[in-house]
Amino acid sequence: MPVTMAVVAARAGVSKATVSRVVNGAPGIDELTAARVRAVIQELGYVPSARAVGLARGRTGSVGILVPSLTWPWVGEVLQGVADVVESRGFGLLVFTFNQGPDSMRRFAAQLSGKAFDGLLVIEPSGTLDKIAELHDNGLPVVLIDDRGHEPRFPWVGTSNRMGARAAAEHLLAIGRTRPLIISGEPRFGCVRARLAGFQEPFQAAGVPLDPALTLEGDFTYASGIARAREALARGLAFDAVFAHNDVMAGAAMGVLREAGRRIPDDVAVVGFDDLPWTTQTEPPLTAVHQPVRRMGEVAAGALLDHLDGKRLTGDPIVLPTGFTVRESTVRPR
């Protein structure tokens, strides 16, 4: 026989209401009664049914997270940060992916209306921002992770792409590089525009304006890193550094450059972006702008749970600073 609250109550000689109060730490319970109830709970190994609590209380004790894919390292990092705080606060974490197009949206909507979770974290699957905004407007607590430069009108946590790109430029200037090749992401992303803008500022300030011909558009994939680097070589572009908008493209470019006989960092210094554990295992080790990806997950989850616990969300975005990690792709060790 499953041990329910009724069983505990009977055994302790009190009502279910009293057991409930003890379990939830309600004030104004006789300490002796409480102790007796606790003893029975202990003895029987009673744990409240999440379902029943949820139904009675009108909440589920779990939060959802919507992600575009589970196989991207960036997403994995965020998810781990989220899971750490969600779990440590005793909530469940329900994962939804948008891997299957419109079907995904339909099924997600079903879970949503089924009230399967109390609040939602989202790493925006491309093109769903309007729907998300709608959910938020309809009263679902939502926190967006990484705004991709859209700066929506609901709470989000992001990172300072501009500052990160600026740090990359300053580093390259400091080691005497003046003709950086930029392998960017797609400019339709706000983060890409921010990185482009931030990167050129220090050069501008130093009186070394960037050559527009040295900016090539990639799409964050390894293949595009290879293609753009080859293109730069084929066109005979003169450059003494590469600034790639992510680590993957930076790693790809390094392979092409070494293949072509360019020494790294002597001939070409290379800087990446993200600094994820899995993408900086390159030869040589990659200097990169560090995104606090995991921390973003933690902060977003914390903000959402605080909100569910009754603290009001300010609505102000939370922007975490980037870091900068210098490795051998820009500075030869001695």
Partner DNA sequence: CTGAAAGCGCTTACAG
**Any idea what DSSP says for residue 45?**
T
Dump strand ranges (E) for the chain.
62-67, 92-97, 119-122, 142-145, 156-159, 180-184, 215-217, 241-244, 269-274, 287-290, 318-320, 323-325
Q: Which does 151 bind (CB under 5 to 8 A by kind): a copy of itself, DNA, none?
A: none
Q: Does 317 bind a copy of itself (CB under 8 A)?
A: no
Q: Which does 304 bind (CB under 5 to 8 A by kind): DNA, a copy of itself, none?
A: none
Report the residue number, 115 or 153, with the smaller CB distance to a copy of itself: 115
CB of 5 to DNA, least distance (A): 3
Candidate residues 20, 104, 128, 325; the one interacting with a copy of itself per rule CB under 8 A: 104
Piece of 33-41, 111-119, 141-149, 153-161 that binds a copy of itself (CB under 8 A): 111-119
Residues 43-62 interacting with DNA (rule: CB under 7 A) = 46, 48-49, 51-53, 55-58
What's the CA gap between 167 and 187, in Å, rounded?
Answer: 20
Report the residue number, 83 or 318, with the smaller CB distance to a copy of itself: 83
Q: φ, ψ for residue 159 (rounded to 5)?
A: -135, 165
Candidate residues 7, 23, 33, 84; the one interacting with a copy of itself per rule CB under 8 A: 84
Q: Does 49 bind a copy of itself (CB under 8 A)?
A: yes
Q: Which residue has the tokens 């921002």?
A: 129
SS3 content of the chain, % helix, strand, coil (to 5): 45, 15, 40
Q: Does 35 bind DNA (CB under 7 A)?
A: no
Q: Which does 283 bind (CB under 5 to 8 A by kind): DNA, a copy of itself, none?
A: a copy of itself
Q: What is the DSSP string of 221-247?
A: SHHHHHHHHHHHHHTT---SEEEESSH
Q: Does 5 bind DNA (CB under 7 A)?
A: yes
Q: Which residue has the tokens 């997600």?
A: 108
Q: Work out the burial of residue 98: count CB atoms within 10 Å of its CB; fewer than 13 is exposed, 13-18 middle, 19 or more buried.
A: buried
Q: Does 103 bind DNA (CB under 7 A)?
A: no
* CB burial string 227-248: b at 16+ within 10 A, e below: bbbbebbeeeeebbbbbbbbbb
Question: Site for a copy of itself (CB under 8 A): how many residues?
Answer: 56
Q: Does 106 bind DNA (CB under 7 A)?
A: no
Positions touching DNA (CB under 7 A) are 2, 4-6, 13-18, 20-21, 23-24, 27-30, 32-34, 46, 48-49, 51-53, 55-58
